[in-house]
Structure 1
Amino acid sequence: MQFCDDCGSLMHADGDEMVCSSCGARVPKDRERAAQFVSTEKQTFDDVIESSEEAADEGLPSTEATCEECGHDRAWYTIKQTASADEPPTRFFKCQECGHRWRGYN
């Protein structure tokens, strides 16, 4: 990564120059340093597994939890600290059957 000397923002490659994404400053590419950089233009997304919005929760852990809406007995969950550190965390559930969301307090 290269940062702009004028404003400190991240610069990106544009031909033989590096261009600041904020102020537009341009500097020639340093050939020795350029060999150290990796361009993200050649990245592919072949390894991306999620293919739809519905698949967004499939990587989350699941547990036995009864849905209040449909009665299904499995739900995905996440744990977040919603209060101060000396309070227990909150578990957020999403039914694997109907998608209903609820929270559980420990």
Structure 2
Amino acid sequence: MCRVNAYYVYILASDRHGTLYIGVTNNLRTRLEQHRSGRGSEFVRKYGVYRLVYVESFTSAPEAIAREKQLKNWHRDWKIRLIEENNLDWSDLSHLL
């Protein structure tokens, strides 16, 4: 899943239909480690949002940032639909990295 010179927009969830967090990074594995160790985001730590449920990759940072902003502005129902189109069970995808 991880590629060299790629940028990732990712969605973390606390549980199925739980709290969602959307982020962008150029090193998904390291960013997940930061989140899970409590160094990634105050929000993630506070709400226990550690399950990687969705990932998109891009070749440029501006593209990835634009997509992150777009997703953050979506209605919650749209985000859930996006996740379930690709990951119906809301499985943790981090094992694919």
Relative to the length of structure 2, the TM-score reads 0.20
* Structure with larger RCO (C-alpha < 8 A, sep 6+): 2
Structure with greater proportional strand content: 1
Higher gyration radius (CA):
1
More helix by share: 2
